[in-house]
Structure 1
Amino acid sequence: MQRRAESGQAEELARYNKHLAVAKSVGIKKNVSTGFSLGTLFLVLFSAYGLGFWYGGKLIVGEGYTIGDVMLVFFAMLTGAFSLSAAGNNVEVFAKSRVAAFEIFKLIDRKSPIDPLSTSGKMVDKNIKPEITFKDVSFTYPARDDQQILFKVSFKAEVGKTLALCGQSGSGKSTCIQLIQRFYDPQEGGVYFGGVDVKTLNVKSLREEIGVVSQEPVLFDASIKENIRYGRLDVTDQQIYEAAKMANCFDFIERLPKKWETQVGEGGATLSGGQKQRVAIARALVRNPKILLLDEATSALDTESEAIVQQALEKASVGRTTIVIAHRLSTIRNADKIIGFASGKIVEEGTHESLLKKENGVYANLVNMQSFGEKEEKAENEKSVKKELKTQKSIVKSDEKSAENAEEDLPEAPWTTILKMNSPEWPFLVTGTIFSAIVGIAQPLFALIFAKILEDVSVLQGKELEEAMGTAAVKFVLLGVLNFVGNIGAISSFGKAGEELTMRIRSSAFEKYLRLHLSYFDDPLNSTGALATRLSTDASKNAQLEKKGATGSRMALLTQNFFSLGFALVIAFANIWQLAFLCLGFVPIMAGTGFFMMQLFSGKMAMKEQKAYENAGKIATEATLNIRTVASLAREKTFYDNYMHEVAIPHASAKKKEWLYGMIYGLSQGIIFFAYAATFQFGGYLIEKGILPFLAKFTSLLMAVVFGAMSAGQSSAFAPDFGEAKLSALRMIKLFNLPSVIDPTNPAGQRPEKPDVKVLKGLTVSVKQGQTLALVGQSGCGKSTCIQLIQRFYNGEGNIKIDGLDINFWNLKHLRAHIGFVQQEPTLFEKTIKENILYGLPDEEDELVERACKEANAFNFISELPSKYETNCGKKGSQLSGGQKQRIAIARALIRQPKILLLDEATSALDAESEKIVQDALDKARAGRTCILIAHRLSTVISADKIAVVDNGVIIETGTHDELIKQQGAYFSLINSQL
């Protein structure tokens, strides 16, 4: 059992670290390359100095050139070389920009064959006949070109009538819905809207005429009202309310603390599945579309709500062309035409009555699978809804913060705390500092060599002068070698330390995310986009304290500058303290400009900019992850405008402070020349008074101090990097210090020796070992919340006990290892089918994987795939149909052999035939296990040992099916509404 206690957290962390290790390796190699390149540059420069003086000595002795001529050429070379070396430190920025620009321009230049923002194509005529026609359509998804989905499909959805598509999961029904919206173009045949090929129509104009409610509804991280308004941007509040009433979501919204301004969270996470579905229906209805596409539109609703919403949809369908995909008989039996799909082909079509007569037909089998005896079959033919849906109190809690006004409370931390984050790499930091010191003293040493040259020129002549110049040339070459070795050592060492820090911070941050309680992710500040942005940028920016970007050249250069200035001042104080004090007086001004710029980039303005970038990342992530919903709503321009609004904030901020930054940076560079002027003026005075007797010595001191000051002045240019790095570091410190209220990696907690003897107590209901408890009730009444509390995703009031022990005292990892969970909207990862089934487990034998798939009725469709178990599921399982995803999720739960089985609408996405088979498998899987299930369908709950009716977060009835039917209470009403 221990190996089954391994969770997906460790697997995801290992997968993430694998990619980080590659990035770290590349970064270290880049650091070595940068160090070698910069070292080579200085080696060549100092060698050129040496060559220049050696040849200059020959010209002075042999050709009659003066020392002034040589100095003129030398200083011209020196100034140019110094500027070139400074520019060389920033070459990496241009290199990285070129790499980024290549991908960006490649994306920008890419021509989309189906461009929703294009103005080309015919606009849909307002008087167009809303009729959809498929003519010999054959289709294969581009991502899976080895598996054809549709084969010569032809049908017509007539004006004002309802066409129903039925068949097993994966038979091609949802693909037809996508082709109508022109998400793809068929390889053969055509799709026609009012007799016009959809390829010739303007894409946005086409989609504006279509209302869609999909099987897995997607809501955006905005208020309920804003989500409905996405259906039609010019809609009035009154029209929103009317659409909500039609979708049966008006009452529950009105009972929320913030009503229509309630934030639904990322993906609608703060709403129940049924509530999300109804808001999505309202969003579709508010469009007043000509074409209505319903892909399992009521799959997440309880039976009572379904009946009411189904009536509303039938009313909404009047005068519209409606295409329905559904597995429930009640949803499609009244359709004007029903088409049966099998393996991508149309195998039958007709009405409810005509298809029932077809023996072993697709539709006939569907009906037979949903019949529960003579009494139910008779009642099924009676079209009635016995009462109006009761108003419900939402379990959604109002968040005190909104995405618009939430402020990030960052901790205060001294630089020592921030720098300690790199303490494990202290050997590399020490090594880098030593090499940087070696490079840093090169400039002052250069000044001393130069002073010796001036002195030799003034006292030596002929051969002696030529030899002295030759000796100086050799010293310059040695300085070049010193720079070569020092730059390689410094940049490589700091780069190594920085890459290790970046990887460790990213890995630790990701691990922390995996350990945090789920309520952390409910906070608007912590959306997926914002967290991804922080994970990507904050770790690398934080490492700017040791390195800049992808290399260690910045930290190496800063350390070099520090030692250069320090050694220069030592030389100055050792020779003439008066001049040294004058030069030292300019250092605070240089340091002050750098400090001011750092504050400019790390204050409240910087936090506002960072927040804007996070919001932009959130918008981009949300839009791209849910691009199908964005496309079906034709809201690409809206999300683009929202994105540009966010990125405009830092742009405007940059424009406001660019003049200030320019002025301060100009001062930091101009102060060097002020130091020149003051030093020459004061030096002249000292020479005049005889305090400084030799001009050569004065010149050497001046060069030593000024070159050191110039190096220090360069450091101020990096102040913005350090300002941003500090902000990122504080955010990381806050994350690492944040305690997880419910930490699955915490080893504390009890591990009972008999986890197979279970009693669950909560909401005044209990279920014993081996029994099945069914929770029923209207959408949003609290059923799914019970499932989450059992897994201890949240802490609630009262007691939930397993084996008589409060789950708060269980070891969390041990608790969850014994629980199998299949949810209403299954989540698959971008891995193979086998990897998804074995998620978080060691490799199992193939026969065990196959057995789990057979139990979940997934074996057959997997075997028909070209790559079988190695088929990649795509992002969020996008390469599979809803029913296929659900069966993979069921197999993933069953292979763990859990002691407790939690099923939250586990068969909601399955067709009737698959549902019956999977339900039989789940019934077998329940044997000997404690099972708690949530379901709206009678066939799923009728055999439960105990049924609990939940209403407004309270259990109002418990008993068996027969006992509750005799009571003729809430359960009786729910059953009647289903019949």
Structure 2
Amino acid sequence: MEMIKRVPKIDSENMAGEILEKVSREVEFDHITFLYPLRPDNVILNDFSLKILAGKTMVLVGGSGSRKFTVVTLLQRFYDPIKGEIRVDGVAIHNLQLKWLRSLMGLVSQEPILFATSIKENILFGKEDATEEEIVEAAKAANAHDFISQLPQGYNTQVGERGVQMSGGQKQRIAIARAIIKKPHILLLDEATSALDTESEHKVQQALDNIVVDQTTITIANRLFTIRDAHAIVVMVNGSIMEMGSHDELMQNENGSYKSLVHFQQVEKSENDTLSHPTSNEDMQSKSQGHYILSHSISSILMAQSSLVDDEEVIDDPKHPSPSFWKLLALNLPEWKQACLGGFGAVFFGAIEPLYAFAMRSMLSIFFLIDHQEIKRKISSYYLFFATLTVLQMIVNIIQHYNFAYMGEYLTKRVKERMFSKILSFEVAWFDQDKNSTAIASVYTRQVILKGVTKKTIKAQDESSKIAVEAIANLRTITSFSSQGRVLKMLQKAQEGLSNESIRHSWFAGIGLGCARSLTTFTRALEYWYGGNLVYHGYITTKQFFETNLILANTGRVIANASSLTSDLAKGENAIGLVFTILDRNTKIIADEMNAYKPQNLIGHIELQNVYFAYPTRPNVMIFQDFSINIDAGKSTALVGGSGSGKSTIMGLIERFYDPLKGIVTMDGRDIKLYNLKALRNCIALVSQEPTLFNGTIRDNIAYGAFDKTNEVEIIEAAKIANAHDFIASMKDGYDTWCGDRGVQLSGGQKQRIAIARAVLKNPKVLLLDEATSALDSQSENVVQDALEKVMVGRTSVVVAHRLSTIRNCNQIFVLDKGKVIEEGTHSSLLAKGPNGNYYSLNSHKQHDIINVNNASSGA
């Protein structure tokens, strides 16, 4: 009730406030001072002033933690500043209707947030009443239509929880389409193309350039080529503006911060000469497409899939029969003493009720005596009896409830620990299934509560739970798009069946409960009427009447109370079945098999041999067919290609998150299925595109990388290598700074560097980097890349990257497309193929942009 009655200080449902008839889209920050409520001692912005002219593009650049995103957050009015005003068209935003204000804005964030629904529904978050044509048009503008059309269900394809069924680039393009369809007056881009491959990035950037022509655009960017045409560039450091101007103006300052940032992104001059005469975009696109055509037809692919996909992989786990009560009791064996004491207390408590009823009826008979002394004497004896009974009842109650509660708590603790341990041992494919999602991870609790209810109701409850969990987890995205109403409609739609079913059941429940209650009263009336007649005709005495009446009433109440537990027992039986479904399930990929091979000195030679693979949740979409690749030990190997080409899937197969349908993955010539997986993974470190942090301190998150206990010196050294130590040390609590849920208290670049430090601390034999520097600004990327190159020496390193600078020093590069290797070689050898090469095509757009910027800078 406290939460329901709470009126938020910034209330999006408050319809009060001004709505401007005409919007010119001018934005102004006037002497803003701001600090986050959770960090009242850390000033984020201090006397910050900035003006963005209507229809112009303003770019914010600077290192990670320079408070760039805070500017966007304040404009959306997620928070209010401590001092100063933020104005749109001269009106302070706190005087504008909040929902209307946010409807003016479209946001594409660095880490794209999708909801567990279809692609179409995700795009419609930008505009609820959009037509099919508008959806397709927005997807085409975001370079998403082609890959969506190739999916079996097209725009109706489910993206999975948090978009898990999509690659990083695919998620980002869907998020961009969602912003484009909104046609916002003010466009907010937070590294909107960071997850895209080079070719897709160029196309999407062109699309974004087209839609920002008449819009006020605020762009947070780390990459040079995405900001060269901006009307103004703002360089931020620790929440202050260090420099401001156009690209040409800022490049004239030899000692300026912006020129330093540009310097870190410039590519070697020799490579510029190689690409000085690129062909037109259309020619390069047609040529590259010609190389991408595969010999297999769709029909042959589907035929191959039908013969390869194991039926066991696509069907649901079989339902386990309800285990016996003794199986559950066996889990409580360590508490056998408490079980005996609790049973002892329960037996005595059960005996007290009839004793109480017997004494009560005897006491009532006293009032029919006529000898006052006898009444006093008997009352004194009954007083002592009831006092003794009270003390005895208190003692046996304590014995019973304490010991049974002790058993229950330890049983619950033991079951939770075993379930959690068991769940952590399951293969990744188990988590990909919708029924095993985190929709209130309480799916089992839900099924217990809804025991005996129809499948339709259970499904409705499941959908409602998913929507509620995602709405809370993705609140920022929902708030940015003012989609609270849409989410509530989705919730209402999901609960329609549940509501109708509940109404029907409430009628039955109401009638049944009413009858049950009335029967109790009718029975009591019958007892007194019939008993009274027996007394009246002399068949029984008054004492016998009260004796029978009270014993029946008290004993009946106890029996009724016990009977009321039968529904709980039925629910408990269902819960036991669900618990043991998990505890008895054998994972298909055992992590710690004792008899498996444990590597003593791993070299790191990796090979995928004739691999066929499809994700279990999409068995009809083959990722690899007869795929082979050889990754040399102790060398660095780069995987490049468009989004969805299979790069991250290779990482998953190396880590053995999944097993191939056919073919093998080997490590040092041995099938990885023969390894003790826990020992193997201790030799492998992964830094993924979207860094995952836990809700703990920075020290704890880095220490997760260590196999054994680690000390402070090692943690700091790892942080220094990852270029994270300086920003950590600058925080008030240093390494004890709390990261928040999923690292929400840190910027994207800061989270990524902590994730890299965690991998460095592990000191792995095999290092997997899946766009490990994608979230870093140019200067940090350069420093971290140098550090990673040092760490990669002598290790087998597999790098998935879109940026040229992160892969040009790799020993070998594989160019992938649609699950095939279409080119391989070194950076120089692949570029030497010229415009006819696929690798050249992937990089030519980006390289050409850098050349143009460099030439412009030189001219300036």
TM-score under structure 1 length normalisation: 0.77
Secondary structure of 2:663's counterpart equals coil
The code of the aligned residue for 1:121 comes to G
1:470 and 2:334 correspond: no
For 2:322, which of 413, 418, 433 is the aligned residue?
413
Deviation per CA, 1:913-938, whole angstroms, max 9, x where unpaired? 11111000000000110000000111
Decide whether the 8 Å contact of 2:697 with 2:736 is kept in 1.
yes
Alignment of 1:19-30 (within 5 A): none
Q: Give the whole-Å Cα distance in 1 for the aligned partners of 2:361 and 2:28.
A: 91
Q: Give the whole-Å Cα distance in 2 for the aligned partners of 1:131 and 1:392.
A: 48
For 1:771, which of 630, 635, 638 is the aligned residue?
635
Q: CA RMSD in A?
A: 3.2
Aligned residue in 1 for 2:715: 849
For 2:561, which of 684, 706, 714 is the aligned residue?
714
Secondary structure of 1:368's counterpart equals helix
Structure 1 unaligned residues grouped into runs of 5+: 1-104, 401-405, 543-600
Secondary structure of 2:787's counterpart equals helix
Over the matched positions of the two proteins, sequence identity in percent amounts to: 38
Alignment of 1:447-526 (within 5 A): 447-450=357-360, 452=362, 461=371, 463-464=373-374, 466-526=376-436
Aligned residue in 1 for 2:800: 934
- Aligned-pair CA distance for 1:956: 1.7
Aligned residue in 2 for 1:871: 737
Aligned residue in 2 for 1:79: none
Decide whether the 8 Å contact of 1:304 with 1:778 is kept in 2.
yes
The code of the aligned residue for 1:254 comes to S
- Higher radius of gyration, 1 or 2: 1
Q: Give the whole-Å Cα distance in 1 for the aligned partners of 2:227 and 2:215.
A: 16
- Distance change >3 Å, CA 298–CA 808, structure 1 → 2: same
- Distance change >3 Å, CA 633–CA 641, structure 1 → 2: same
For 1:175, which of 70, 73, 93 is the aligned residue?
70
Decide whether the 8 Å contact of 2:634 with 2:793 is kept in 1.
yes
Q: Give the whole-Å Cα distance in 1 for the aligned partners of 2:141 and 2:604.
A: 47
Q: Give the whole-Å Cα distance in 2 for the aligned partners of 1:114 and 1:677.
A: 60
- Aligned-pair CA distance for 1:666: 4.4
Deviation per CA, 1:729-762, whole angstroms, max 9, x where unpaired? 3332322233222243444521022213533335
Aligned residue in 1 for 2:575: 728
1:626 and 2:474 correspond: yes
- Distance change >3 Å, CA 417–CA 287, structure 1 → 2: farther
The code of the aligned residue for 2:480 comes to S
Aligned residue in 1 for 2:620: none
- Aligned-pair CA distance for 1:900: 0.5
Instruction: Using the TM superposition, name which of 330-339 and 268-277 deviates more.
Output: 330-339
Q: Give the whole-Å Cα distance in 2 for the aligned partners of 1:978 and 1:417.
A: 67
Alignment of 1:431-446 (within 5 A): 431-446=341-356
Aligned residue in 2 for 1:34: none
- Aligned-pair CA distance for 1:428: 3.0
Aligned residue in 1 for 2:612: none
- Distance change >3 Å, CA 328–CA 428, structure 1 → 2: same
Q: Give the whole-Å Cα distance in 2 for the aligned partners of 1:759 and 1:907.
A: 23
Instruction: Using the TM superposition, name which of 197-206 and 371-380 deviates more.
Output: 371-380
Decide whether the 8 Å contact of 1:124 with 1:205 is kept in 2.
no
- Distance change >3 Å, CA 798–CA 475, structure 1 → 2: same
Kindly tell me the number of residue pairs found equivalent between the two proteins: 805
Aligned residue in 1 for 2:650: 786
- Distance change >3 Å, CA 785–CA 713, structure 1 → 2: same
Decide whether the 8 Å contact of 2:606 with 2:665 is kept in 1.
no
Aligned residue in 2 for 1:881: 747
Deviation per CA, 1:70-90, whole angstroms, max 9, x where unpaired? xxxxxxxxxxxxxxxxxxxxx
Q: Give the whole-Å Cα distance in 1 for the aligned partners of 2:143 and 2:134.
A: 14
- Distance change >3 Å, CA 419–CA 668, structure 1 → 2: farther
- Distance change >3 Å, CA 604–CA 817, structure 1 → 2: same
Aligned residue in 2 for 1:906: 772
Q: Give the whole-Å Cα distance in 1 for the aligned partners of 2:100 and 2:795.
A: 54
Aligned residue in 2 for 1:758: 605
The code of the aligned residue for 2:810 comes to A
Q: Give the whole-Å Cα distance in 2 for the aligned partners of 1:296 and 1:714.
A: 62
Aligned residue in 2 for 1:20: none
Q: Give the whole-Å Cα distance in 2 for the aligned partners of 1:259 and 1:291.
A: 30
Deviation per CA, 1:3-45, whole angstroms, max 9, x where unpaired? xxxxxxxxxxxxxxxxxxxxxxxxxxxxxxxxxxxxxxxxxxx
Deviation per CA, 1:478-534, whole angstroms, max 9, x where unpaired? 222222222222222222222223323333333233222222222222222231x34
Deviation per CA, 1:633-674, whole angstroms, max 9, x where unpaired? 111222234345556655554432233224434444555566
- Aligned-pair CA distance for 1:381: 10
Q: Give the whole-Å Cα distance in 2 for the aligned partners of 1:502 and 1:849.
A: 36
Decide whether the 8 Å contact of 2:640 with 2:801 is kept in 1.
yes
Aligned residue in 2 for 1:357: 252
Structure 2 unaligned residues grouped into runs of 5+: 310-314, 610-626, 848-860
Deviation per CA, 1:332-351, whole angstroms, max 9, x where unpaired? 11212222112221111222
Deviation per CA, 1:448-488, whole angstroms, max 9, x where unpaired? 33555577888995645543343233222222222222222
**Structure with higher helix content:** 1
Q: Give the whole-Å Cα distance in 2 for the aligned partners of 1:455 and 1:199.
A: 78
- Aligned-pair CA distance for 1:122: 1.1
- Aligned-pair CA distance for 1:839: 1.6
The code of the aligned residue for 1:822 comes to V
The code of the aligned residue for 2:764 comes to P
Q: Give the whole-Å Cα distance in 2 for the aligned partners of 1:167 and 1:738.
A: 50
Aligned residue in 2 for 1:835: 700
Secondary structure of 1:631's counterpart equals helix
Decide whether the 8 Å contact of 1:134 with 1:153 is kept in 2.
yes
Aligned residue in 2 for 1:813: 678
Q: Give the whole-Å Cα distance in 2 for the aligned partners of 1:483 and 1:381.
A: 96
For 1:193, which of 82, 88, 95 is the aligned residue?
88
Q: Give the whole-Å Cα distance in 2 for the aligned partners of 1:637 and 1:472.
A: 67
Q: Give the whole-Å Cα distance in 2 for the aligned partners of 1:677 and 1:171.
A: 80
- Distance change >3 Å, CA 454–CA 274, structure 1 → 2: closer
- Aligned-pair CA distance for 1:219: 0.6
For 1:602, which of 401, 426, 451 is the aligned residue?
451
Instruction: Using the TM superposition, name which of 376-385 and 249-258 deviates more.
Output: 376-385
For 1:897, which of 763, 780, 784 is the aligned residue?
763
Aligned residue in 1 for 2:614: none
Q: Give the whole-Å Cα distance in 2 for the aligned partners of 1:259 and 1:363.
A: 43
Aligned residue in 1 for 2:505: 657
- Distance change >3 Å, CA 702–CA 840, structure 1 → 2: farther
Q: Give the whole-Å Cα distance in 2 for the aligned partners of 1:178 and 1:380.
A: 41
Q: Give the whole-Å Cα distance in 1 for the aligned partners of 2:528 and 2:45.
A: 86
Instruction: Using the TM superposition, name which of 388-397 and 192-201 deviates more.
Output: 388-397
Q: Give the whole-Å Cα distance in 1 for the aligned partners of 2:221 and 2:737.
A: 26
Deviation per CA, 1:232-283, whole angstroms, max 9, x where unpaired? 1111111000000000000100000111110101111110000001000000
1:636 and 2:500 correspond: no
Aligned residue in 2 for 1:117: 13
Aligned residue in 2 for 1:47: none
Decide whether the 8 Å contact of 1:777 with 1:950 is kept in 2.
yes
Q: Give the whole-Å Cα distance in 1 for the aligned partners of 2:595 and 2:217.
A: 56
For 1:373, which of 268, 279, 286 is the aligned residue?
268
The code of the aligned residue for 1:655 comes to I
Instruction: Using the TM superposition, name which of 965-974 and 217-226 deviates more.
Output: 965-974
Q: Give the whole-Å Cα distance in 1 for the aligned partners of 2:743 and 2:165.
A: 22
The code of the aligned residue for 1:110 comes to R
Q: Give the whole-Å Cα distance in 2 for the aligned partners of 1:458 and 1:339.
A: 99
Aligned residue in 2 for 1:8: none
- Aligned-pair CA distance for 1:314: 0.6
Q: Give the whole-Å Cα distance in 2 for the aligned partners of 1:774 and 1:231.
A: 36
Q: Give the whole-Å Cα distance in 2 for the aligned partners of 1:459 and 1:138.
A: 87
Q: Give the whole-Å Cα distance in 2 for the aligned partners of 1:139 and 1:240.
A: 38
Decide whether the 8 Å contact of 2:322 with 2:574 is kept in 1.
no
Decide whether the 8 Å contact of 1:164 with 1:339 is kept in 2.
yes
Aligned residue in 1 for 2:823: 957
Aligned residue in 2 for 1:917: 783
Aligned residue in 2 for 1:149: 44
Decide whether the 8 Å contact of 1:506 with 1:535 is kept in 2.
no
- Aligned-pair CA distance for 1:804: 1.1
Decide whether the 8 Å contact of 2:323 with 2:576 is kept in 1.
no
Secondary structure of 2:742's counterpart equals helix
